[in-house]
Amino acid sequence: MASRDEVLAALAKVSGPDGRTPLPQSDSISGLTIREDSKVFLAILIDPAKAKAMEPMRASAEAAIKAIPGVTGAVVTLTAESARSAAGGGAQQPAHGHAHGRAAGRGTPIPGVKRIVAVASGKGGVGKSTVSCNLAVALAQLGWKVGVLDADVYGPSMPKLFGLTQKPGLGPDGQKLVPLEAYGVKVMSIGFMIDEGAPVIWRGPMVMSALNQLLREVLWGELDVLIVDMPPGTGDTQLTMAQNVPLTGAVIVSTPQDLALIDARRGVAMFKQVQIPLLGVVENMSTFICPNCGTRSDIFGHGGARREAEKLGAPFLGELPLDMAVRERSDDGRPVVATLSGSPQAAAYLDIAHRVMESLEAGATARPAPRIRFA
């Protein structure tokens, strides 16, 4: 496996954003991750206005890393640095001396957005998007200002889950998009811009630039938390996103099946690799309660996620039943937390929201990521 020193030595031959200073000394490297399979992920902070001009630098850095013997691949991304936050005008306060203090998200914070939380899963179909939606509504009900960013660009589901069909308009500056709003939550999704069912073919760099736009070219206003619904899985796209979005923490959704847990473990490992604090694990589709007779059946087994979370040292955030009302209402754009208030289903999401809120209030606040500086 290539070492960090080898990667930095190779990057010394590439000039940084100013066209002169070698990349390792340029104060622009915001993330360097070497995965166990010897694939290297690098994020370089740039002024977004110069993104086109920076492409040759990005390509040279990628080529330089790929040329290192033993490296199996390289993904180099450009991440945004707005003039405002570059000048120190970000809205976030640095957090001191708390449990999550060591780990900072990557990329420049979004002015006005206090915390950004990724909801992720090791694989698709485990209910990650349903959890993102209901968790957001629950946090709003608990009094927070909440936004949801649908980063699942391959299968955006927030328009359906929130029952939103309009297209977002432009704000007063004629540049940034105004997020749509439902159930007290501001929502932005690539799904608002493309037709449902239309196939979208994304190449890696397009995904990142779409995500950066959804994150930074949107008038989020003041938010206590922005929930990011990640694409399922733990591949290159997910790692690159985790590296480029200034995440405060991550929530992993898993079903109780063993296979899903193996996948969930990969999710935990990925966030560890990029030093994002794990807020906890949610077990979804945990138990089935028969709507006719009330009998409880553990269709996929039960308790696996709790045991697994304990083994990984991650907090267990709670379990959600496999429930017909959740499925039906999700498909209709009527999240249970909002439309079945007082029900046990809504209570289960609210419990999880409480724990997430507590954990975030206890420490994790988004802040400018320390640039990695190599003397």
Point out which residues bind ligand ADP (CB under 6 A): 121, 124-130, 157, 232, 284-285, 320, 322-323, 326-327, 330-331
Six token digits for residue 199: 């196939």
When the beta carbons of 286 and 365 are compared against ligand ADP, the nearer one is: 286
Please give the single-letter amino acid code of residue 20: R
**Rounded Cα gap, residues 77 and 62, in angstroms:** 9
CB of 123 to ligand ADP, least distance (A): 8
Residue pair 168/180 in contact by the 8 Å Cβ criterion: yes
Nearer to ligand ADP, 81 or 283 (CB): 283
Task: In angstroms, give the least distance from the CB of 293 to ligand ADP.
Answer: 18
In the DSSP assignment, the letter for residue 25 is: G
- Shortest distance, position 125 Cβ to ligand ADP, whole Å: 5
Judge whether 355 and 315 are in contact, CB under 8 Å.
Answer: yes
What is the smallest separation between the CB atom of 114 and ligand ADP, expressed in angstroms? 25
Task: Look at residues 261, 361, 268 and name the one whose alpha carbon lies nearest to residue 302.
Answer: 261
3-state secondary structure 296-347: EECCCCCCHHHHHHHHHCCCEEEECCECHHHHHHHHCCCCHHHHCCCCHHHH
Nearer to ligand ADP, 46 or 320 (CB): 320
Least distance in angstroms from the C-beta of 223 to ligand ADP? 22
Q: Kindly tell me which of 21 and 297 has the beta carbon lying closer to ligand ADP.
A: 297
Smallest gap from residue 312 Cβ to ligand ADP (A): 20
| Axis crossing angle, helix 51-66 with helix 4-11, rounded to the nearest 10 | 130
298 CB contacts (<8 Å, ≥6 apart)? 256, 286, 287, 288
Amino acid identity of residue 10, one-letter, is: A
Nearer to ligand ADP, 31 or 335 (CB): 335
**Rounded Cα distance, 265 and 268, in Å:** 5
Cβ 255 to ligand ADP shortest distance, Å: 9
Closest-by-Cβ residue to ligand ADP is: 127
Nearer to ligand ADP, 88 or 291 (CB): 291
62 vs 229, which CB is nearer to ligand ADP?
229
CB nearer to ligand ADP: pick between 28 and 284: 284
The phi and psi torsions of 214 (rounded to 5 degrees) equal -65, -30
Whole-angstrom Cα distance, residue 104 to residue 323? 36
Report, in Å, the least distance between residue 129 CB and ligand ADP: 3
**Beta carbons of 149 and 118 less than 8 angstroms apart:** no
Of 248 and 284, the one with the shorter C-beta distance to ligand ADP is 284
Residue 304 · residue 283 · CB < 8 Å = yes
Q: How far is the CB of 23 from ligand ADP (least distance, A)?
A: 37
66 Cβ contact list (under 8 Å, min separation 6): 73, 74
